[in-house]
Amino acid sequence: MPIEILMPALSPTMEEGTLAKWLVKEGDTVSSGDVMCEIETDKATMEFEAVDEGVIGKILIADGSEGVKVNTAIAVLLEDGESADDIDQSPAPAAAPKEVEAEAATAPVEKSAPVPAAPAAADGSRIFASPLARRIAADKGLDLASIKGSGPRGRIVKADVEGLSKSDAPKAAAAPEAAGKPAPMAAGPDADAVLKIYADREFEEVKLDGMRKTIAARLTEAKQTVPHFYLRRDIQLDALMAFRAQLNKQLEPRGVKLSVNDFIIKACALALQQVPDANSVWAGDRTLKLKPSDVAVAVAIEGGLFTPVLKDAEMKSLSALSAEMKDLATRARDRKLAPHEYQGGSFAISNLGMMGIDNFDAVINPPHGAILAVGAGVKKPVVGADGELAIATVMSVTLSVDHRVIDGALGAELLNAIKDNLEAPMTMLA
């Protein structure tokens, strides 16, 4: 029996992807482990290998197809002794939208009766309904906003309104309220409304790729559902800069050059061990307290960002962390990271200091408990321990904290530990 090859879930959060390129064609023989195609997820382009052996009987999804849902059939594999005639030729269910449109076209209506305009919900979002359903609803005085559609993507069709009377509509709307679910948060104006605002202005419409859609969804979710609070400290870097220069001179024969960011990663990893209760993530109805320090670091790439995770960072030397970070950053920019390399971690670092940013507030990437926003090191006047005025290199940092996971005092303890590690860098080697 022919085997359907399904769109794989290449990461735990993947719901759809782009079939970027087929590397086989119909009639080709494949064995287990052979690469069949390249699939773009929200984060990377990954190769998809055959699990079974056989002959590619039919390719169902063409190169460059976007928004292909996980578990959608993308090809058919023929086993030994089978031919293309064995492939089921039954029509795909995707014909449903055409049937809905045909309903409006074939139903008898009076030419004199105009089709009501497309309705909108109370929040301004469009309600999708067939022309015939809108006409029937208008004749019966029904509010389409109170009716749940049974057509494709929730579209309201003739069957949804045909048997309703005006008194029935409120009952249909009352069901969700009775369930006690909170009302969805306002999503702002839809695309059509925004396009109307700028209709008389010149602009270029940029289509969102999978990464941009994921960033938009996850960070909107983070700001709406994660109770952020912020802690700020200034950190003096002069001792670290001198120690770094000394180490780099000694490591030069090995081709190793440590960055300030390498020290920050190490300082955060050790601080999570020094304040173990802060090494936690949110898990819905509980928190998970991690033992290792798995630190994620934001890496900017064209069109978005990755947060590769340096696992067991507290156990690694500065030179090992430096080499691993360089490798992860390079492969992140090439979109060659595997999902396990950018998922997980309990804590993240976002450093914009190299871009001249003094300070900023970063958004927590759920389920992390916190993220450290790092600004530039700048020369500032400071009052020394002896009361004398001096000039020091000062770096401003902001710790964004999930209050469900870490309380204020615990967050302050974590940030103080990070500060102490950076201001006394030699202790990080002990």
Catalytic residue numbers read 403
Lay out the sheet containing 65-69: strands in order across: 45-49, 35-40, 16-22, 65-69
Q: Report the alpha-carbon distance of residue 57 to residue 60 in Å, rounded.
A: 10
The 3 state secondary structure assigned to 97-144 is HHHHHHHHHHCCCCCCCCCCCCCECCCCCECCECHHHHHHHHHHCCCH
**Residues pairing with 75 in the sheet:** 5, 59
Q: Report the alpha-carbon distance of residue 84 to residue 232 in Å, rounded.
A: 66
**DSSP class of 414:** H
Q: How crowded is residue 200: how many other Cβ atoms within 10 Å of its Cβ?
A: 6
35 φ, ψ to 5°?
A: -80, 125
Q: List CB contacts of 26: < 8 A, sequence separation 6 or more.
A: 56, 57, 58, 59
Q: Which of 153, 167, 158 is nearest to 135 (CA)?
A: 158
Q: How many helices (H) and strands (E) does the chain have?
A: 11, 18
What is the four-CA torsion angle of 83, 88, 94, 99, rounded to 10 degrees? 130
Q: Report the alpha-carbon distance of residue 230 to residue 48 in Å, rounded.
A: 42
Q: List CB contacts of 135: < 8 A, sequence separation 6 or more.
A: 109, 113, 115, 116
193, two tokens: 């409304």
Q: List CB contacts of 46: < 8 A, sequence separation 6 or more.
A: 10, 38, 39, 40, 338
329 φ, ψ to 5°?
A: -65, -40
Helix residue spans in 141-190 (DSSP H): 158-162, 169-178
**DSSP class of 355:** G
